[in-house]
Amino acid sequence: MRPRWLVLVLIGLALLASLLANLAIGAVQIGWSDVLAALVRFDPDSYDHFVVVYQRLPRALIAIYTGALMAVGGTVLQGLTRNPLASPSTLGINAGAMLFVIVGAYTFDLGLTAQGIAALAGAVFGFASCLSVARLAGLSRDPRGLALILSGALVSMLFVGIANAFLLADPARRTDFLGWITGNINHVYADRLADFWWIGLLSFAILGAIARPLTLVMLGQEKASSAGVNITWVTRAALAAVTLGAGSAVAICGPIGFVGLVVPHIVRPFIGAGLGLALPAGAMTGAIFCLIGDLVARQAFTPYVLHTGVLMDLIGGIVFVAIVRRFYLTPGARGET
């Protein structure tokens, strides 16, 4: 047991380090001491302090928020469906949220807050669409097969297509959303974080409170129920927390994909399957991923700045293939559990 707590502490330290690195490194290099000074004793006359507090800190907070929620969402969805490929991005949640924001903004001229609410509704709609397509395709009760993931991919493609059609229809406003639609961690979205941070917090709180019964659900519904878990309520609460959490992250910076898919697989061997530890560990690791991803996206191709979402998709695509190979294409890989 003790080494796992140690892992949690180490991840926490790594998070702190990547946060500081994210704040210090950029077009202007800022020393560690100045970064700390900017956070503790802000000097309004210092340009460096201004950059740290008004540009990099909001970015970093958005990265932490998004990474943590996506990773937690992936951890919970993979546990609930017992499907190693489940995550907010593969089950239509992100695409649904994105579609609703675009459609809302284009047809109803929704303001920022209304767009956020549209994102939440879209997240729920996307997940529901994925489930109903899977059911239409004949997925009976076993969610472990590829049918669920294929449905998610199908729904996502459809939604992205529709969203693109809207974007193409109105070239004048296209640029407003072009960055956002690929998943863009950017300080200009700080207002949205200020609007929605409490949704993420609520999502964490709910999932934390039901971490143990959720872990039991991973043993199978009958086993969990026989151990005293109210399956219906626990599943509903978990899905609501995950979809709303992921939806709020999409509302802020667009669909950042694959963190939710990849991080749970990386964390699990070190921290175990129990969600009591896997959720905080996943959240922090997801945050680290996005902080570093944001840093790389900004710095790797200077003077060009890559969108974090694009970078994540590149990395995530490769890992996706690796996971499919390990869980679906290796002979006898499934079945033993």
Partner 1 sequence: MLEARNVVASYGKTRVLNGLSVGFEPGRMTALVGPNGCGKSTLLKAIMGFVPLRAGIVRLAGEDLHRIARRGFARRIAYLPQESHCPDYMTLGELVELAGYARYSLLGGPSARDRELFAHALETVGLADMADRQVNALSGGQRQRAFIAMVLAQDAEIVLMDEPVNHLDMKYQYAVLDLVRDLTETHGKTVVTVLHDLNLTTTFADNVVMMREGRLEAMGAVGETVTAETVSRVFDLDADIFARNGRLVCLPNRDIGARIAPPTRTEATA
Which residue in 160, 171, 33 sits closest to 101, CA to CA? Answer: 160
Q: Which of 225, 266, 310, 319 binds partner 1 (CB under 8 A)?
A: 225
CB of 213 to partner 1, least distance (A): 7
CB of 163 to partner 1, least distance (A): 35
Q: What ranges in 218-258 are assigned the alpha helix state H? A: 221-226, 231-253
Task: Please tell me whether residue 223 binds partner 1 under the rule CB under 8 A.
Answer: yes
CA dihedral over 186, 78, 244, 206, signed as positive or negative: negative
Q: Which of 18, 66, 129, 215 binds partner 1 (CB under 8 A)?
A: 215
Residue whose CB is less far from partner 1, 107 or 140: 140
Q: Which stretch binds partner 1 (CB under 8 A): 11-19, 60-68, 268-276, 283-291?
A: 268-276
Task: Please tell me whether residue 330 binds partner 1 under the rule CB under 8 A.
Answer: no
- Measure the CA angle with vertex 329, ends 324 and 335; round to 5°: 100
Task: Please tell me whether residue 335 binds partner 1 under the rule CB under 8 A.
Answer: no
Residue whose CB is less far from partner 1, 99 or 281: 281
Residue whose CB is less far from partner 1, 216 or 291: 216
Q: Which of 226, 299, 302, 330 binds partner 1 (CB under 8 A)?
A: 226
Q: Which stretch binds partner 1 (CB under 8 A): 41-49, 50-58, 222-230, 241-249?
A: 222-230
Task: Please tell me whether residue 230 binds partner 1 under the rule CB under 8 A.
Answer: yes
SS (H, E, C) 9-45: HHHHHHHHHHHHHHHHCCCCCCCHHHHHHHHHCCCCC
Task: Please tell me whether residue 268 binds partner 1 under the rule CB under 8 A.
Answer: yes
User: Using CB atoms within 10 A of its CB, is residue 236 exposed (0-12), middle (13-18) or buried (19+)?
Assistant: exposed
Residue whose CB is less far from partner 1, 26 or 276: 276
Place of tokens 């626990």: 234
Which residue in 241, 244, 240, 207 sits closest to 116, CA to CA? Answer: 244
C-alpha separations of 180 from 79, 197, 240, 296, 313 in Å: 29, 18, 24, 18, 14
CA atoms of 278 and 58, how far apart (whole Å): 26
CB of 229 to partner 1, least distance (A): 7
CB of 243 to partner 1, least distance (A): 22
Residue whose CB is less far from partner 1, 190 or 273: 273
Applying the rule CB under 8 A, the residues between 61 and 80 that interact with partner 1 are 79
Answer yes or no: are the C-beta atoms of 221 and 98 closer than 8 Å: no
CA atoms of 144 and 142, how far apart (whole Å): 6
Task: Please tell me whether residue 6 binds partner 1 under the rule CB under 8 A.
Answer: no
Answer yes or no: are the C-beta atoms of 105 and 177 closer than 8 Å: yes
Q: Which of 44, 138, 171, 228 binds partner 1 (CB under 8 A)?
A: 228
Chain residues that interact with partner 1, rule: CB under 8 A: 1, 79, 82, 209, 212-213, 215-216, 218-220, 222-223, 225-230, 268-269, 272-274, 336-337
